[in-house]
Structure 1
Amino acid sequence: MTRRPRNSAPEPPAHFAAADLPVRDCVELAAGLASYARRYGLAHVEVSGPPELGELIEEFGLDEVHFVDSHRRPAVDIEATPRTWRCGQRGLRCLSDQLIDAAHAPPGRVATASTLAEGTVLRFTRHNRLGDALGIVTGLEHYCRDNAVASVAVTGSPALAEVVEVFACERVRYAPLSDRAVSGDAIFARSSWSLPWLDRFHHSVSDTYGGRVRHCVTPLLLRQEPERPEREDVVYCQFDARSGTALPLRSARRLLSQVAAHGDVHVLGGPDTQYYLGHDVTYVRAELPEMVARLLSCRLFIGCDSGLGHLAGCLAVPGLIVSTDDFETTWSFFRNYASLSVIPLAAAELLLS
């Protein structure tokens, strides 16, 4: 048996044991381990942990990561979410660097393909809501323009089809489901949480396929500018009951009361939101084109971290995004929208009181 010289760098670790992490952190960990394996030329790494972690690894097709029930020792313990996954630095490169730093392994590089192939169809089943669709289509459109890719397609959810129809896409189209489609969810899962929302998919495509990367993706223009009615004396509020960052009911009711003292208030939301907030409020539920027209005509938008918040930012609607999660993470998602300010819940209640 050949002994490794004492001054040589240790082997990067390949066995990890995760604690019972939230699903969002499981997504980061699974994709982060795949990025880590590719970067350092490991055939695969093994990880144990909550069952959701194994399901995500299989769903995203992360061949570099093997989920196991238990590990032979030694294994690197991931006991809890490191703070550096949050506070504006959350992301796969950060995670990969942390793992390497822990093992004192030398830096390495991964060869990437030239660019995303023309005509590729990207399928999305998990990332299928309005905010995801805005980021996917916008990031992909800029990527194709910057890298001279004539045309690609997305498929999956009605939200993707609506965004492609409403916003001016020259190189991204919507296509029917295809057996040959590439998993866009797997690519999205590799994106960094430290980037603004519209930048995320652009960077994950660049990381996967190579090509020019843009560090400030601008919102797409509307395909057809609607006739702008006279500005309504209306404040639109959106406190999505289904959101992972929904406002507490008491706080949401208090904010509605404070805003209503200064003019008309309409709540954007469906039956879930009505059940959550009560029936003594005016609710608006509309398809995307009508929602665009309403937002463009309103006096102010107040919402949480949600798809409609990102839509308001893309349309340059003046407004407030109330952060109920980690403030720095919410701010990083919204920081390229010049018209929106992100404030903590306590500050929103103070300003509107």
Structure 2
Amino acid sequence: MNRPSISGREELPTRFAAADLPVRDCVELTAGLASYARIHGLAQVEVSGPPAIGELIEEFGFDEVRFVDAHQKPAVDIAAAPRTWRCGQRGLRCLSDQLVDAARVPSEVDTPPSTLLGGSVMWFARHNRLGDALGIVTGLEHYCRDNAVASVAVTGSPILAEVVEVFACERVSYVPSPSEAISGDAIFARSSWSVQWLDRFNHAVTDTFGGRARHRVPPLPLRQEPTPSGQENVVYCQLDARSSTPPPRHSARRLLSQVAAHGEVRVLGGPDTQDYLGQDLTYVRAELPEMVARLLSCRLFVGCDSGLGHLAGCLGVPGLIVSTDDFETTWSFFRGYASLSVIPLAATEVLLP
């Protein structure tokens, strides 16, 4: 029971067999299957699995999904799909794409060749923060490797140059003043907010130039591992006043006092953060190479949705990301980092002494 879709992708799967999932997962799976059918112009898809799925289909009125007791093969095994589909409403497009990829790996015939020319330069004026730079360089590096693009370059913000220098890039370089450049900002604007942070630019480039996209873009390794100096009994905290989601000052101060039980607290930030949190704390400012070395030697990292949080995730530093805005959004950005846990701000009073 495979049908063509109105989007032009042939033989999309319409039968799915779910494992014995928790109810919360069943809710997201049911909503995701309905979205999958709508996006690809499928009249209806079938799913077998826990009875809760059938109850949810009826409760939510998902006419696009039909529950059946069991499937004869072939049917796509949901247990084989990446766990990253658990990302709520914002992840439905991600789930939809992953279900297709779980059913079959696109062949070279299915995947249009990339039209991104080797040697192209992408210029970034707006996306000039550390988190953006990590996503741009990582996503672009993996795209070039997967699609046999020999080399490309980025330009604009100095932080792009630092990320290219610190992380092991084989195909992405930095140029200070190119004669011609593509607007990287315009490509970044095509990014889907439903996919993981490091994946976003990879998908945006694919949407623009064709070729193969990934759902799981792994962080790039460091170009050179810093000489280990032993683990310090230090907790680095990044609660930057310039972040789009800083916690209230009284909550931030309370959080800092709580994590002090786990080591010496040092706050990553400059004058704006000092004015925001107070002058009685230890503040650290460092260039990217030194910051990498500090994070790799610390006991714990605690931060909010920020570029340094993504850096800690790329480096595998153990830590907490405190959600001060929308928990689902924060979690969807950070869910690809195995070393980081995302918790609501209110939970810090329960989870930290």
Which residue does 1:223 correspond to in 2? 223
The residue that corresponds to 1:139 in the other structure is 139
Give the AA of the match of 1:161. Answer: A
Say whether residues 1:330 and 2:312 are aligned partners. no
Relative to structure 1, the CA distance from residue 116 to residue 213 in structure 2 (aligned partners, 3 Å threshold; closer, same or farther) is same
Q: CA deviation at 1:263?
A: 2.4
Q: Does the aligned pair in 1 maintain the 2:139–2:198 contact within 8 Å?
A: yes
Query: Following the alignment from structure 1 to structure 2, what is the Cα–Cα distance between the partners of residues 236 and 141?
Result: 29
**For the residues of structure 2 that align with 1:88 and 1:300, how far apart are their CA atoms?**
31
- 1:91 offset after TM fit, Å? 9.3
Q: CA deviation at 1:325?
A: 1.4
Residue in 2 that maps onto 1:281: 281
- Deviation (angstroms), 1:141: 0.2
Gaps of 5+ in 2: 1-86, 96-110
Give the Cα–Cα distance (whole angstroms) in 2 for the partners of residues 165 and 258 of structure 1: 36
- Trace 1:141-290 onto structure 2 (pairs within 5 A): 141-290=141-290
1:199–1:216 contact (8 Å) kept in structure 2: yes
TM-score (norm 1): 0.69
2: CA distance between counterparts of 1:286 and 1:296? 14
Q: Which amino acid letter does the alignment assign opposite residue 121 of structure 1?
A: V
For residues 186-226 of structure 1, what are the alpha-carbon distances to aligned partners after superposition, in whole Å with 9 as ceiling and x for unaligned? 00011011111100000000011000111100000000001
User: For residues 42-88 of structure 1, what are the alpha-carbon distances to aligned partners after superposition, in whole Å with 9 as ceiling and x for unaligned?
Assistant: xxxxxxxxxxxxxxxxxxxxxxxxxxxxxxxxxxxxxxxxxxxx955
Residues 93-148 of structure 1: CA deviation (Å, up to 9, x unaligned): 99xxxxxxxxxxxxxxxx97733111110000000000000000000000000000
Amino acid of the residue matched to residue 131 of structure 2?
A: G
Q: Which has the higher contact order (CA 8 A, sep 6+)?
A: 1
Cα pair distance change 1:91/1:182, threshold 3 Å: farther
Could you tell me how far 1:313 is from its partner in structure 2? 0.2
Which amino acid in 2 is paired with 1:311?
L
Q: Which residue of structure 2 lines up, in the alignment, with residue 33 of structure 1?
A: none
Q: How many residues align?
A: 253
- Alpha-carbon separation, structure 2, partners of 1:145 and 1:114: 11
Q: Do the aligned residues in 1 keep the contact of 2:94 with 2:194 (CA within 8 Å)?
A: no
8 Å Cα contact 2:267-2:281 kept in structure 1: yes
Say what the alpha-carbon RMSD is for the aligned residues. 2.0
**What do the CA deviations read for 1:267-293 (whole angstroms, capped 9, x no partner)?**
011111111000110000000000000
- Residue number in structure 1 paired with 2:90: 89
1:136 to 1:91, Cα distance in 2 relative to 1, 3 A: farther
SS at structure 1 position matched to 2:90:
coil
Retained in 2: the 8 A contact 1:143–1:202?
yes
Percent identity of equivalent pairs: 77
What secondary structure, in the 3-state scheme, does the structure 2 residue paired with 1:133 have? helix
Structure 1 residues without counterparts, runs of 5 or longer? 1-85, 95-110
Checking the alignment, whether the CA contact within 8 Å between 2:114 and 2:147 is kept in structure 1 is no
Tell me how far apart the structure 2 counterparts of residues 251 and 179 of structure 1 sit (CA, whole Å): 49
> What does residue 302 of structure 1 align with?
302
8 A Cα contact 2:324 2:344, kept in partner: yes
Give the letter aligned to residue 150 of structure 1: A
Structure 1 residue ranges (4+ consecutive) displaced by more than 2 angstroms after TM superposition: 90-94, 111-115
- In 2, Cα distance between the equivalents of 1:87 and 1:296? 32
SS at match of 1:302: strand
Structure 1: which amino acid aligns with 2:306? S
Amino acid paired to 1:115: T
Letter in 1 for 2:123: R
Q: Distance in 1 between matches of 2:163 and 2:214?
A: 21
Find the counterpart in structure 1 of residue 315 from structure 2: 315
